[in-house]
Amino acid sequence: MNTLRPDLEKRLLYILHWGLVETRNLALCEKHQQVFDLADALETLPGELDDWKEGSLEAIRFNLQAYQDKYRGESYDYLKYLEREHPPERF
């Protein structure tokens, strides 16, 4: 098992948090298919965090990218928190 960097762990936890916020907002708008697709993109994240491997980051990135590509302009930008911007100190 590889070690997960603390900064990356915080980024991933924020992405999971942000995904739950988006899920709630989508549910209010009755966008059921998008909720389903977002759940698909995020469901493996806790397992990857629990058993971090060499390919874990690539798998997470792939799932998030596929979701964002499908809902371009309609979804939250998860990859910016994975790659560019730091999550807030508290969330």
Amino acid at 57: L
1 pLDDT exceeds 70? no
Please state, rounded to an integer, the average pLDDT across all residues of the chain. 96
Residue-by-residue DSSP string for 8-26: HHHHHHHHHHHHHHHHHHH
24 vs 26: CA distance, rounded Å: 5
pLDDT of residue 3: 82
pLDDT of residue 2: 76
47 vs 72: CA distance, rounded Å: 26
Of 13, 12, 59, nearest to 40 by C-alpha is 59
**Over the stretch 22-53, which tens digit does the pLDDT of each residue have?**
999 999 999 999 999 999 999 999 999 999 99
5 vs 42: CA distance, rounded Å: 19
